[in-house]
C-alpha cells in the first residue's frame, strides 16, 4: 500500500464529505477510494470512518489521524515546492500587503536591497491597516502583526514585537506615574480602534497573574502613528508595539508605564495562501524577510 497516497485519499474523503466527491477531486474511481480507505484501516487496525448509505463521520481515531495527515501532506508539498522552485528564477510582479506603520518604518528600507538581489521581480506594495483577504483581493502574500496567527492562510513567523504601555515625560509629570493597573483608571488613554480587545487592556504581573483594565480613552484612532503622536504630545497613555515606539523609548521621548507588567507580545508574520505550488518570488521574499528580521529585530536593537 502506498501510505502517502492513502493518507491523501483519506484527507480528501473527509474534506469532501464523501467517497464519490473525493474520487472526482482525485481523478480516480470510487472503488479505488474505497480500497485505499479499507487498506489504511487494515494497516492501522482501527476504523477511521463511520459510514452508512446516508451519513459519514469520523471516529476518534479518524479525527486524530485527519489533523496529523493534513500536516504531513502540507510538509511533503512544501518540500516538493522547495525543490521545484529552487530551479526557477524569481520573476514577475509580487503583490504584498502590509500594515501602514510597520510597512513605512521597517519594510520600506528593505525593498531596494531585495530588488538588487532579484532584479526580475517587480514589487507592488499596498500599506493597509485592515486585515485583507489575500486571495479575494489578489495579493501574493501579506505581512501581518498578530497574536492569533492566520486561520485561513499559511503563516511563517518573521519576528516578535513586545507591546508596551507608555506616555510622554510631560504627561507623567503632570498626572503622575501609575503604580498598579487599577490606577490606570485615573488616567487618560489613547485607544487603538483595530485592537481585538477594544479598550480592555490586558497585562501580566511579575508572578504571571493576569490583570485587565477597561481604559478610559479620550481619543481613538485606527493608526498607530497617530496614537504615537498623541502620546508624544502629552495627551495620554498608549499601548503600542516596540516596532513603533522603541526609538522613542530609547531617546526618552516616551517613558514606560507599569514596566513591571507585561502585555502580550505580537508576532510579525509572513502570510500566504498555501504551501502548495508556492511561487519562487514569494519564497525568496519570505526567506529574505526572515534573514533581515531574524535575531534581535531592528526595533529592539540599540545600535
**Domains of the chain listed by start with CATH number:** 3-84 (1.10.10.10), 92-154+268-293 (3.40.190.10), 163-264 (3.40.190.290)
Residue 196 is predicted with a pLDDT of: 77
Residue 87 is predicted with a pLDDT of: 52
With a cut of 60, say whether residue 86 has pLDDT above it. no
Cα separation, 212 vs 200, whole angstroms: 6
Cα separation, 236 vs 191, whole angstroms: 10
**How large is the average pLDDT for residues 156-180?**
95
Cα separation, 269 vs 160, whole angstroms: 9
pTM reported for the whole predicted model? 0.66
With a cut of 60, say whether residue 149 has pLDDT above it. no
Q: Nine-digit cell at 3?
A: 501510505
With a cut of 90, say whether residue 296 has pLDDT above it. no
Residue 134 is predicted with a pLDDT of: 86
Residue with cell 499601548: 239
With a cut of 80, say whether residue 144 has pLDDT above it. yes
Exposure b/e, 165-203, CB count within 10 A at least 16 = b? bbbbeebbeeeeebeebeebeebbbbbbeeeeeeeebeb
Residue 202 is predicted with a pLDDT of: 93
| 236: nearest Cα among 170, 156, 149, 289 | 170
Q: Nine-digit cell at 262?
A: 507585561
With a cut of 70, say whether residue 277 has pLDDT above it. no
Percentage of the chain surpassing pLDDT 70? 92
| Long-range contact set of residues 295-301: C-beta below 8 Å, sequence gap at least 24 | 297/159, 297/160, 297/161, 297/243, 297/268, 298/106, 299/105, 299/106, 299/161, 299/241, 299/242, 299/243, 299/244, 299/246, 299/247, 300/161, 300/162, 300/242, 300/246
With a cut of 90, say whether residue 237 has pLDDT above it. yes
With a cut of 70, say whether residue 78 has pLDDT above it. no
Q: Report how far apart, in Å, the C-alpha atoms of 52 and of each of 49, 55, 190, 202, 234 are.
A: 10, 5, 58, 49, 68
More confident residue, 238 or 129: 238
With a cut of 60, say whether residue 226 has pLDDT above it. yes
Residue 209 is predicted with a pLDDT of: 93
| 140: nearest Cα among 158, 157, 121 | 121
| 203: nearest Cα among 280, 157, 264, 128 | 264
Residue 260 is predicted with a pLDDT of: 94
| 234: nearest Cα among 152, 159, 175 | 175
Q: Are 184 and 215 in contact (CB under 8 A)?
A: yes
Cα separation, 84 vs 76, whole angstroms: 12
Amino acid at each position: 500500500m502506498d501510505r502517502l497516497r492513502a493518507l491523501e485519499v483519506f484527507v480528501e474523503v473527509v474534506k469532501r464529505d464523501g467517497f464519490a466527491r473525493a474520487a472526482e477531486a482525485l481523478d480516480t474511481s470510487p472503488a479505488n477510494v474505497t480500497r485505499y480507505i479499507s487498506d489504511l484501516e487494515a494497516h492501522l487496525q482501527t476504523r477511521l470512518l463511520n459510514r452508512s448509505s446516508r451519513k459519514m463521520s469520523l471516529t476518534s481515531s479518524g479525527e486524530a489521524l485527519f489533523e496529523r495527515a493534513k500536516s504531513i501532506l502540507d510538509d511533503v508539498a512544501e518540500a516538493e515546492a522547495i525543490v521545484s522552485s529552487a530551479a526557477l528564477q524569481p520573476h514577475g510582479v509580487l503583490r504584498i500587503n502590509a500594515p501602514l506603520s510597520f510597512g513605512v518604518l521597517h519594510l520600506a528600507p528593505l525593498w531596494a536591497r531585495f530588488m538588487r538581489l532579484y532584479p526580475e521581480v517587480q514589487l507592488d506594495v499596498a500599506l493597509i491597516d485592515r486585515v485583507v483577504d489575500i486571495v479575494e483581493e489578489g495579493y501574493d502574500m501579506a505581512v501581518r502583526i498578530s497574536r492569533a496567527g492566520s486561520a485561513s492562510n499559511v503563516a511563517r513567523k518573521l519576528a516578535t514585537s513586545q507591546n508596551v504601555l507608555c506616555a510622554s515625560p510631560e504627561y507623567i509629570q503632570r498626572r503622575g506615574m501609575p503604580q498598579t493597573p487599577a490606577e490606570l483608571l485615573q488616567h487618560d488613554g489613547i485607544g487603538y480602534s483595530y485592537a481585538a480587545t477594544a479598550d480592555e487592556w490586558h497585562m501580566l504581573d511579575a508572578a504571571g497573574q493576569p490583570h485587565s483594565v477597561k481604559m478610559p480613552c479620550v481619543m481613538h484612532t485606527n493608526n498607530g502613528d497617530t496614537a504615537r503622536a498623541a502620546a508624544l504630545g502629552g495627551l495620554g497613555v498608549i499601548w503600542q508595539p516596540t516596532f513603533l515606539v522603541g526609538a522613542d523609548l530609547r531617546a526618552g521621548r516616551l517613558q514606560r508605564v507599569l514596566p513591571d507588567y507585561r502585555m502580550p507580545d505580537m508576532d510579525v508574520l509572513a502570510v500566504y495562501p498555501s504551501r502548495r505550488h508556492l511561487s519562487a518570488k514569494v519564497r525568496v521574499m519570505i526567506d529574505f524577510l526572515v534573514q533581515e528580521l531574524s535575531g534581535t529585530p531592528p526595533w529592539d536593537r540599540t545600535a
